[in-house]
Structure 1
Amino acid sequence: MTFLPDDLYAQIEQSMPIACVDFVPVRMTPEGKTEVGLILRDSPFGEVWCHLGGRVNRGETIVQALRRHARDTLDVDLAIEPNAQPDYVYEWFPPDIAPTDGTTHGDDPRKHAIGLSYVVELTGTPAPRNEALDFAWFPIDRLAASMWPGSDQLIHLLVNQQPG
Structure 2
Amino acid sequence: MDDLTDVETTAAWLSREELDSARERLPILYVHAVPVRVDDRGIVTRIALLLRADDEGGIGQEVVGGRVLYHEKIRDALARHIENDLGPVALPRIPVSPHPIAVAQFFPTPGVTPYHDPRQHAVSLVYIVAVMGDCRPQQDALDLSWVTPEEAADMSMRGEMSGSHGVLVRQALAHIGFPV
Aligned to 1:81: 95
Higher relative contact order (CA 8 A, sep 6+): 1
> Closer, same or farther in 2 for the Cα pair 1:12/1:28, shift >3 Å?
same
Aligned to 2:6: none
Aligned to 2:105: 91
**C-alpha offsets along residues 26-85 of structure 1, whole Å, 9 cap, x if unaligned?**
22479x774311101121351111111100001110010000001111112310122111
1:20 aligns with 2:30: yes
What is the TM-score of this pair, normalised by structure 2?
0.78
1:126 aligns with 2:135: yes
After TM superposition, the runs of 4+ consecutive aligned structure 1 residues lying more than 4 A away are none
Aligned to 1:41: 52
- Gaps in structure 2 of 5+ consecutive residues: 1-9
Alpha-carbon distance in structure 2 between the residues aligned to 1:90 and 1:37: 19
1:149 deviates by 2.7
Alpha-carbon distance in structure 2 between the residues aligned to 1:87 and 1:69: 17
Instruction: Please say if residues 33 and 127 of structure 2, whose CA atoms lie closer than 8 Å, have aligned partners that are also in contact.
Output: yes
1:132 deviates by 1.5
- Gaps in structure 1 of 5+ consecutive residues: none
1:151 aligns with 2:168: no
> Closer, same or farther in 2 for the Cα pair 1:120/1:130, shift >3 Å?
same
User: What CA RMSD, in Å, does the superposition of the two structures yield over aligned residues?
Assistant: 2.2
**C-alpha offsets along residues 109-158 of structure 1, whole Å, 9 cap, x if unaligned?**
12221110001101311111102211101222323452113211111112
1:72 aligns with 2:81: no
Identity fraction in percent:
29
Higher gyration radius (CA): 2
1:50 aligns with 2:62: yes
> Closer, same or farther in 2 for the Cα pair 1:136/1:55, shift >3 Å?
same
Aligned to 2:175: 161
Secondary structure of residue in 2 paired with 1:60: coil
Give the letter aligned to residue 61 of structure 1: K
1:142 aligns with 2:151: yes
What is the TM-score of this pair, normalised by structure 1?
0.85
Kindly indicate which of the two structures has a greater share of residues assigned to helix.
Answer: 2
Kindly indicate which of the two structures has a greater share of residues assigned to strand.
Answer: 1
Alpha-carbon distance in structure 2 between the residues aligned to 1:55 and 1:93: 15
Instruction: Please say if residues 86 and 136 of structure 2, whose CA atoms lie closer than 8 Å, have aligned partners that are also in contact.
Output: yes
